[in-house]
């Protein structure tokens, strides 16, 4: 029989730090810290048949043409424009506050929280770019358009619910999204001369 109170020799733990260091270095090398953030977009489904293409006729007043040429110059609704003006132009176009005849038509709709309202649900923002447009300029345009929607939704949330859009509940957000539906269309690519 072994003795009752035998002392267990302590394990030398001085190298645990080295082992942990090696693990740490391994993870530092094999992993990356980049947080993935970006602009989310939904592409339209592919065109089914060529001859069905002209089915949807959109009224001219409902479309905001945003064009970028190969020198990254911007044209909004037929006028040269600066990227800084795009946000306000888009906001005015989406909301059509004064019921302008050149801006999108309004339709009566029944929404939760809001009741019967007039909304511009038929509007479309059409972004067209050239083959030579730089990606940077394209993203800036996309960003400004999304910003226009976000600002409008935030303003609406403040006036209706007295809080920011981010603080709204799921149902409230859905109602706001129905009020200002995000409609950015990426037009079929066209090639206008030049390389």
Partner 1 sequence: MGKFNKTGKREMPELNTSSLPDLIFTMLFFFMIVTTMREVTLKVQFKVPAATELEKLEKKSLVSFIYIGKPMPEYQAKMGTTDRIQLNDKFAESSEVQDYIYQERENMKESDKPFMTVSLKVDAKTKMGIVTEVKQALRQAYALKINYSATQRN
List of residues contacting partner 1 (CB under 8 A): 13-14, 16-17, 19-21, 23-24, 27-28, 30-33, 35-46, 68, 129-136, 138-140, 142-143, 146-147, 150, 186, 189
- To partner 1, the closest distance from the beta carbon of 175 in angstroms equals 20
**Nearer to partner 1 among residue 151 and residue 178 (C-beta):** 151
- To partner 1, the closest distance from the beta carbon of 95 in angstroms equals 18
**Nearest-angstrom CA–CA distance, 195 and 185:** 24
| Token output for 38 | 């970006």
Q: Return phi, psi of residue 5, to 5°.
A: -100, 65
| Token output for 185 | 């269309």
- To partner 1, the closest distance from the beta carbon of 25 in angstroms equals 9
**Nearer to partner 1 among residue 23 and residue 118 (C-beta):** 23
Torsion sign across C-alpha atoms 109, 64, 181, 45? positive
**Nearer to partner 1 among residue 1 and residue 13 (C-beta):** 13
Let me know the angle formed at the C-alpha of 76 by 72 and 77, rounded to the nearest 5 degrees.
145
**Nearer to partner 1 among residue 61 and residue 142 (C-beta):** 142
- To partner 1, the closest distance from the beta carbon of 187 in angstroms equals 10
**Nearest-angstrom CA–CA distance, 107 and 132:** 38
């Amino acid at each position: 029989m072994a003795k009752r109170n035998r002392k267990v020799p302590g394990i030398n733990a001085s190298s645990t730090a080295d082992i942990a260091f090696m693990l740490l270095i391994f993870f530092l090398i094999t992993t990356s810290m980049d947080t993935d953030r970006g602009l989310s977009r939904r592409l339209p489904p592919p065109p089914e048949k060529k001859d069905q293409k002209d089915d949807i006729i959109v009224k001219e007043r409902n479309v905001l043409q945003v064009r970028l040429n190969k020198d990254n110059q911007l044209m909004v609704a037929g006028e040269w424009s600066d990227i800084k003006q795009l946000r306000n132009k888009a906001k005015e176009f989406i909301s059509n506050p004064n019921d302008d005849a050149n801006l999108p038509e309004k339709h009566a709709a029944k929404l939760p929280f809001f009741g019967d309202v007039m909304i511009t649900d038929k509007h479309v923002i059409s972004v067209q770019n050239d083959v030579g447009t730089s990606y940077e300029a394209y993203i800036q345009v996309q960003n400004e358009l999304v910003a226009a929607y976000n600002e409008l939704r935030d303003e609406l949330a403040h006036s209706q619910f007295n809080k920011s859009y981010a603080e709204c509940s799921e149902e409230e957000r859905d109602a706001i999204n129905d009020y200002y539906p995000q409609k950015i269309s990426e037009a079929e690519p066209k090639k206008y001369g030049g390389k």
